[in-house]
Structure 1
Amino acid sequence: SFAQQRLWFLAQLEPGNPFYNIPGAIRLQGQLNQQALHDSLNEILRRHEVLRTNFQTVAGQVIQVISSVTLISFPIIDLSELTGEEQEALVKQLAQTEAQQPFNLETDRMIRAKLLRLDQHEHVLLLTFHHIASDGWSIGVFVSELSALYCAFCNGQISPLAELPIQYADFAAWQTQWLTADVLDSQLAYWQNQLQGVPAVLELPTDYPRPAIQTFRGANYTFQISPQLTVALQNFSQQQGCTLFMTMLAAFNTLLSRYSGSEDIVVGSPIANRNHAQIEELIGFFVNTLVLRTKLESNLTFEQLLTQVREVALEAYAHQDLPFELLVEKLQPQRSLSHTPLFQVMFVLQNAPHSELELQGLDWNVLESDSSTAKFDLTLFVEEVNSGLKATFEYNTDLF
């Protein structure tokens, strides 16, 4: 797919870089059935070809090569001899090391699993996906399938999941055929008009000068937005005929404008891009990136700004089929190794459907992990949780 081409290209540009890893660490408490877990992971690998796909160059063209081997190696590291304090320190260190371990796109599976044994009733499962084969929605699919399979295998049953009618490679083939000249031209005309004369860089006040070559070293800062303020934001959005995403983006744009001194703010934002029922159940890299441009003239009220953000977002949704990679290729913005093209700041409201992980006989919780990477200068992630809104800034530590 076009999105995979871009990630493959970035991997050639920065070989051995882990910034497109999607890591996770889950603490499991209770009686773990290791065989059922092992079989569940391997069944998911069998079901979703994209997780056992490699990327190779043939006659100058990068292609997907799908392996028929559906076994995933599943190392188990025993930490039970250590004290509780030593265990916690080592778990953190191993999770960090695993998150930083790069994938070889030509030879590796696009999913890795490792089990840390703390004692008979406590384990930590480390999982890492490569973004070229996965996205936020895919994690929800993975969790749902893992829950169903683990329960079945614990009880000696066969997989309850129906076979998938199509695979990611079918989508990639469809995408390249569907984006004909007519479809491309109408989508491209909108984006060329919308992004004409777009500023090359959003000049935020940084702590350090921008390196000549963009680095992807990063860190996170997380904070909570209270339930009361969350309800007030939701009510306000409703009154204005807007979504929470639009209200939050308008507020973020205001902040960026104030700190940069610019009235022309360009922010990237992902969209699930799952417009067909058949691909909703697939693991794969479907997400597309929209470029949202807002003009903040100094005399605007917040309501006027919100109206503009709403219009920009709705028009972008109507033209979401043009892959971001193709947009960059067609617009040919001035390229620089020091920053990403078209935008350097991203806003993400995480509201993709996600299943609760249910593993028979086990309590679980996700361990907070920091991948120490940043794909952009600054990204604001906002997620709706029971306690209101959880927000995280991911920032490049060579700038901030």
Structure 2
Amino acid sequence: MSIESQPAVPDAPLSEQKRRLLEKYLRGDVPPSPGAHDLIPRRPAGLAAPLSAGQHQIWLHSQMAPGLPLYNEPLTVHRIGPLDVAALEWSLCEILRRHEAWRTTVAVVGGEPVQVVQAVPRVALPVVDLRSLPEIEREPEALRLATEDARRPIDLVRGPLARFRLIRLRDEEHRLYITLHQMIFDGVSMYSVFLPELTALYEARVGGRPSPLREPSVQYGDFALWQVRRLREAASSSALDYWRRQLEGAPALLELAGDRPRPPVQSFRGDQPTFALPKTLSEQLKALSRREETTLFMTLLAAFNVLLYRYTGQEDILVGTVTTRRGRPELDRLLGFFLNTLVLRTRLSEELSFRELLRNVRETTLEALSRGDVPIEEVVKSLQPDRDSSRNPLFQVMFILEPPLPPPRPGWNLTQMDVDTGISRFDLYLEADDRPQGIIGRVRYSTDLFERATIDRLLQRFEVLLEGIVADPGQRVAALPVLTPLERSGALRPGDAAEPDRPVVSFTREAIEQSIVQRFARQVQKHPARIAVREAGREWTYAALDEAADRVAAAMAPTVGEEGARIALLLDHDAVMIAGILGVLKAGGAYVPLDPGHPAERLSHIVADCLASAVLTNERNRSLAQALAGGRMVHSLDEILSGPPGAGRRRIVSPDDTA
């Protein structure tokens, strides 16, 4: 039976067998479909393979930020016990020989990206021995080195797309840190193919035995070529029509309140805290899934939607997820990227019970899976959503349930949670992993939007919500508990952090009463040569930034006058903007920030309402500034900074001045 070919039947109960098969499908452990299709053919020797549909989407997105490790994925193999480094190197080399995907690069031929399979490289592991360090310093140093490598961008043209580093912590404890590009692996690749093959090859090599593994019948390039041809030949509008209907009128943005305004351009900066649910709660969630004839994925997704609903009040929510396209026997033991992104739409209301919501999520998931062959790239093209450089199109929040980890051989383990790349492609990404000790996971979040304390609190509330769901799944979603015990007791207000992020620092009254300009002047005096602000192609030391601010202050002083006028700043979010802010403050004025990305009518209202005396802008936004100014003077910051040096601050600012 092939689950992907089954139509969605919302009201039909799932048998235990079907529920288990669907659970495997959603987690990537897909049962093969014997006899359902002809086997994928090998491509002729020398024929370059195109990128698969999933790879093509990643490649396109990678072109937007080539200098960032946007799709770097770090993994850690933990080895407890004796280690033969030469045998490990041979085993890795053998895996690279067996799986072309891991020695593939990308070239553009005739305007289209294609896979280029490189020769089998010799693997010589860089080994870092940390045994000379004090015991307490070894683990942090290992993570520092691994993080340094994980944050180094991968060049898709030059390669390699897989990097390895071995660190020795103790005589019989090692970490094999791996950095992979997302284009060459998925969860099944790591948990069900790579680690089992690595340990089997290593133990055979150490024991003097030949490889016990059968050769792959196809390579990833064969799958990619077959998939592209199949999508072209089997192009059907019915599945795409479903996605158009399903996503029609959906909200473009999930209004998840952040700690900071959304920047006009997504920086992809992120952080990655981890979490672990108690084993008892994990078992209760699985038992609930069985009773409600759903899967653990559906239960956790429904709960996640409740959490988002309670945070935002939105009754129409889009969450991204992934599904595997491995449902063929020849792909079962192949390394590569076999995922497609799905957008799951959930409608909530105050009166809906969690049990009713879970049934709706089940229906939506089954319907989406039956149309899951449509590449997300085609869905986006068809819907043509408004493009916004500040966010991901269609959805900004993602939920993933990782495939199960087969029991590893003694002394070996694998995790994706040790190392953080400092990247988040979404506002919020929640990944769960069902392990024998309970459900564990990680959250990647945009640090442009959220503080770490906010996300820690969200995870605490998610656990409280899950406990409430297993206690009574018949409760209305609006009545399910989300506040932590401290918040319920009143000892902690909903907006407070559970603990201070840093030790409390005391300040003198003199320090507290200093203006921003005075504080900045102190830093200039103490650290003139240190970098104060950095952006692509520009660095300013404190001294250089101070000089730029003085130029602005000298130019704006006549406009500011003795009364401290307000100056509207229509500037991009860059280093020059900082000079403009400081310059206006040094001149004794107050600044009113305007975002060039906001509607002109709104900006014009702000300029008039704040009684701005002038507009300070750059050349790129000058025409917009003149339209907003309404007869007010418009100053060019570019001209000011390229002019003669300024004479510095014109007047001392007091606490009584206009703010």
Contact 1:16 1:104 in 2 (8 A): no
Question: Residue deviations 1:36-94, cap 9 Å, x none?
Answer: 10000000000000111110111211111111233234212233333323333321210
* Aligned match of 2:172: 121
Cα distance 1:79–1:231, how it changes in 2: closer, same or farther (>3 A)?
closer
Which range is displaced more, 206-215 or 38-47?
A: 206-215
Q: Deviation at 1:262?
A: 0.9
Call closer, same or farther: CA 1:153–1:250 in 2, change over 3 Å: same
Larger relative CO (CA 8 A, sep 6+): 1 or 2?
1
> Which whole-Å CA distance do the structure 1 matches of 2:232 and 2:177 have between them?
42
- In structure 2, the CA distance between the partners of 1:398 and 1:316, relative to structure 1 (3 Å rule), is same
1:343 maps to 395
Partner of 1:314: 366
> Once the two structures are superposed, what CA deviation does each residue of 1:238-274 show, in whole Å capped at 9, x if it has no partner?
2222112112111111111121121110001111221
Q: Please state how far the C-alpha of 1:372 moved relative to its aligned partner.
A: 2.1
Selected match of 1:190 from 242, 253, 260: 242
Match among 272, 278, 291 for residue 226 of structure 1: 278
CA contact (8 A) 1:20 1:130 kept: yes
Moved more, 61-70 or 230-239: 230-239
| Structure (1 or 2) with the larger CA radius of gyration | 2
2:93 and 2:120 in contact (8 A); partners too: no
Q: For residue 364 of structure 1, report the CA deviation from its aligned partner.
A: 5.6
Corresponding residue number in structure 1 for 2:27: none
Quote how far apart the aligned CAs of 1:216 are.
1.7
Higher strand share: 1
Assess if the C-alpha contact under 8 Å between 2:269 and 2:447 holds in 1: yes
The equivalent of 1:166 in structure 2 is: 218
The 1:196–1:90 alpha-carbon spacing in structure 2 relative to 1, beyond 3 Å, is same
Q: How does 1:203-218 map to 2 (within 5 A)?
A: 203-218=255-270
Alpha-carbon shift at residue 23 of structure 1 (Å): 0.7
For residues 135-192 of structure 1, the C-alpha deviation after alignment (integer angstroms, 9 at most, x for no partner) is: 1111021001001100111112221111111011111111111113654312101111
Match of 2:145 in 1: 94
Does the aligned pair in 2 maintain the 1:290–1:316 contact within 8 Å? yes
Asked if the contact 1:2/1:326 (under 8 Å) is kept, the reply is: no
Gaps of 5+ in 2: 1-51, 451-659
Which of the numbers 303, 325, 341 marks the counterpart of 2:377? 325
Q: Does the C-alpha gap of structure 1 residues 357 and 129 become closer, same or farther in structure 2, counting only changes over 3 Å?
A: farther
Give the drift of 1:363. 5.8
Please say if residues 405 and 435 of structure 2, whose CA atoms lie closer than 8 Å, have aligned partners that are also in contact.
no
Deviates more, 1:387-396 or 1:250-259: 387-396
State the shift of 1:217 in Å: 1.5
Q: Which amino acid aligns with 2:118?
A: S
Name the structure 1 match of 2:129. Answer: 78
Q: CA deviation at 1:123?
A: 2.5
Matches of 1:307 and 1:30, distance apart in 2: 48
* SS of structure 2 residue aligned to 1:317: helix
Residue 125 of structure 1 aligns with an amino acid whose one-letter code is L
Cα pair 2:76 2:178 within 8 Å, conserved: yes
User: Any residues of structure 2 matched to 1:143-158 within 5 Å, and which?
Assistant: 143-158=195-210
Q: How far did residue 206 of structure 1 move?
A: 0.5
Instruction: Report the residue type matching 1:247 in the other structure.
Output: T
Q: Which deviates the most, 320-329 or 135-144? A: 320-329
Question: In 2 relative to 1, CA 89–255 (structure 1 residues): closer, same or farther, beyond 3 Å?
Answer: closer
Aligned 8 A contact 1:257 1:263 in 2: yes
Tell me how many residue pairs correspond in the alignment: 397
**Runs (5+) with no aligned partner, structure 1:** none
Choose from 415, 426, 430 the match for 1:376: 426
Residues 370-395 of structure 1, C-alpha deviations (whole Å, 9 max, x = no match): 23221211111122122322243221
Is the Cα contact below 8 Å between 1:103 and 1:110 reproduced in 2? yes
The percentage of counterpart residues that share the same residue type is 43
Q: In structure 2, do the counterparts of structure 1 residues 31 and 237 end up closer, same or farther at CA, with 3 Å as the change threshold? A: closer
CA contact (8 A) 1:144 1:356 kept: no
Could you tell me which residue of structure 2 aligns to residue 37 of structure 1? 88
Cα 1:113/1:275, change in 2 over 3 Å: same
Q: SS where residue 26 of structure 1 aligns?
A: strand
Counterparts in 2 of 1:227 and 1:116: CA distance versus 1, 3 Å: closer
Distance 1:119 1:237 in 2: 43
Cα distance between partner residues in 2 of 1:30 and 1:19: 34
In the other structure, the counterpart of 2:57 is 6
Q: Find out whether 1:175 has 2:227 as its counterpart.
A: yes
State the superposition RMSD in angstroms.
1.8
TM-score w.r.t. length of structure 1: 0.94
Matched, 1:274 2:326: yes
Q: Is the 8 A contact 2:240 2:374 kept in 1?
A: yes
Q: Secondary structure at the match of 2:249?
A: coil
Partner Cα distance (1:280, 1:398) in 2: 39
Q: Following TM superposition, by how much is the alpha carbon of 1:119 offset from its aligned partner in structure 2, in angstroms?
A: 4.6
What does residue 52 of structure 1 align with? 103
